[in-house]
């Protein structure tokens, strides 16, 4: 039976944040708010929790998770970032973007794209998510909360609890997060490439809408 925390969006209560982090560190799968819809999260090295998220999403081993980070220093630890990439990241984080970058040696091979050795990373612009990450002291391994058969992410915490209460350990209710997923930008080449159009604007990357 999943726990349910109602948490203030702008000033999340530290006691609830600490409890959520303890759940993650003890192998839990949580649903938490971000600046571009709710997400499933677990600890990076927890294979069992990863498997549970794959089961919830009904995706296979080829599905790639995102490392949700608290700052650029953390991204630079888990990805290989050159000067041009760093400038783009600095100008556009935190925000509703997921960036595809070459993985560093800190990333377990199972989390990387099997042929390109890349990883998706993001820094969310949401007080609850950032408080969680600060208390964790490391990224959350995450996946957007889109359930099999649904076209859009789930956005109502009570509905999330009803549908997933036997499969997750905690729902963090911070009200509506919206239904737009992140914009995914591949930065592994000389020119930024659009992988998925979403909430984040394309303008900073010189990508035309519809491309």
Residue 14 placed within a domain: yes
CATH of the domain at 86: 3.90.870.10
pTM: 0.93
Residue 211 placed within a domain: no
Q: Which domain holds residue 110?
A: 3-204
Residue 209 placed within a domain: no
Residue 210 placed within a domain: no
Each residue's pLDDT tens digit, 84-123: 999 999 999 999 999 999 999 887 776 766 667 899 999 9
Burial 81-101 (b: 16+ CB within 10 A, else e): beeebeebbeebbbbbbbbbb
In the chain, the number of structural domains is 1
pLDDT at residue 105 in the model: 85
Residue 93 placed within a domain: yes
* Residues 116, 45 contacting (CB under 8 angstroms): no
Which DSSP letter does residue 105 get?
A: T
pLDDT at residue 207 in the model: 84
Residue 55 placed within a domain: yes
Each residue's pLDDT tens digit, 49-89: 999 999 999 998 777 789 999 999 999 999 999 999 999 99
Per the listing, tokens 């999260």 go with 41
**Tokens encoding 195:** 């992988």
Is the pLDDT assigned to residue 209 strictly greater than 70? no
Residue 99 placed within a domain: yes
């Amino acid at each position: 039976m999943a726990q349910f925390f109602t948490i203030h969006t702008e000033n999340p209560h530290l006691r609830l944040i600490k409890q959520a982090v303890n759940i993650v560190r003890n192998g839990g799968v949580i649903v938490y708010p971000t600046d571009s819809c709710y997400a499933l999260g677990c600890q990076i090295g927890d294979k069992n929790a990863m498997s549970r998220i794959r089961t919830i999403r009904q995706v296979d081993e080829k599905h790639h998770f995102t490392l949700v980070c608290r700052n650029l220093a953390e991204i630079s630890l888990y990805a290989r970032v050159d000067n041009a990439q760093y400038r783009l990241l600095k100008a556009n984080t935190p925000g509703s973007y997921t960036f595809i970058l070459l993985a560093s040696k800190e990333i377990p091979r199972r989390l990387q794209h099997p042929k390109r050795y890349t990883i998706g990373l993001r820094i969310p612009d949401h007080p609850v998510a950032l408080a969680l990450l600060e208390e964790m002291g490391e990224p959350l391994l995450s996946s957007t909360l889109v359930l099999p058969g649904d076209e859009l992410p789930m956005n109502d915490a009570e509905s999330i609890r009803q549908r997933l209460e036997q499969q997750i350990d905690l729902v963090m209710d911070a009200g509506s997060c919206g239904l737009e997923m992140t914009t995914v930008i591949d930065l592994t080449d000389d020119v930024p490439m659009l992988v998925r159009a979403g909430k984040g604007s394309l303008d900073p990357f010189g990508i035309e809408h519809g491309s």
